[in-house]
Amino acid sequence: MDTIWCDPEILAVTWLTIKVSGLATLISVILGIPLGLWLALHEFPGKKIIVSIVNFGMGLPPVVVGLVVSLMLWRYGPLGILGIMYTPWAMIIAQSVIASPIIAGLSFAAISSLNPKLRLQLLSLGASKWQAHRLLIREARLGLLAAVMAGFGGVVSEVGASMMVGGNIKGQTRVLTTATVMEVGKGNYDTALALSFVLLVVAYSIVAALTYLQNRTAK
């Protein structure tokens, strides 16, 4: 088992996994948290429809996301001019589509769980709208960090969309999940178990770091 940490190919696959899933999570946080905040703090016609769409997006099948993204990025698709099909960027886009509704939905729930009178009290005490929103985010930080962890967990363990838009190309788009599926298909269960172990260590390390941050902010 020790040799897997010295294998250059596994190290490259592991690094690509961290990079792709990390960037996808970051993009999803940038898109999802503001959307969840906006939905939680504003009332407007059609809000329930948008919330239901976000909730529906939280359970989108990854293979469907992979199919839609591949059609968009394919040579004759609307975004085919970008030429990023079967590249890490295509995987990042697909994973961002998967994680953004998860983070948005859980962020909406975290902000909505606060006392609805808190925002009015902050505004009445002289806080500007942006100051009030910042304080509300601070109050809901534990739930928001949980949303980030859920989003990361959704992308780091994803297989279908990554296979469809990335192609599992050695040295280019092969990540731990797709490599594991490939090794199982070849009957190399020992290698698949080793890759699975590495994936679990990577996922746990990042979630543990976020949990530590969550516990620190709770004090």
Q: What is residue 191's predicted lDDT score, i.e. its pLDDT?
A: 85
What pTM value is reported for the model? Answer: 0.88
Instruction: Output b/e per residue, 135-167; b: 16+ Cβ within 10 A.
Output: ebeebbeebbbbbbbbbbbbbbebbbbbbbbbb
- Please report, for the domain that includes residue 14, its CATH number: 1.10.3720.10
Contact predicate 90/96, CB 8 Å: no
In a domain, 1, yes or no: no
Give the separation between CA 71 and CA 86, rounded to whole angstroms.
12
The count of domains in the chain is 1
List the helix and strand counts (H, then E) for the chain.
Answer: 10, 0
**Tens of pLDDT, residues 193-210:** 989 999 999 999 998 988
- Given a cut of 70, is residue 171 above it in pLDDT? yes
Contact predicate 144/33, CB 8 Å: yes
In a domain, 195, yes or no: yes
- Given a cut of 90, is residue 2 above it in pLDDT? no
In a domain, 131, yes or no: yes
In a domain, 84, yes or no: yes
Q: Which of 5, 17, 19, 24 is nearest to 65 (CA)?
A: 24
**Tens of pLDDT, residues 6-63:** 678 888 899 999 999 999 999 999 999 999 988 988 888 989 999 999 999 998 899 9
In a domain, 190, yes or no: yes
- Given a cut of 60, is residue 185 above it in pLDDT? yes
In a domain, 2, yes or no: no
Q: What is residue 49's predicted lDDT score, i.e. its pLDDT?
A: 94
> Domain limits at 41?
7-218
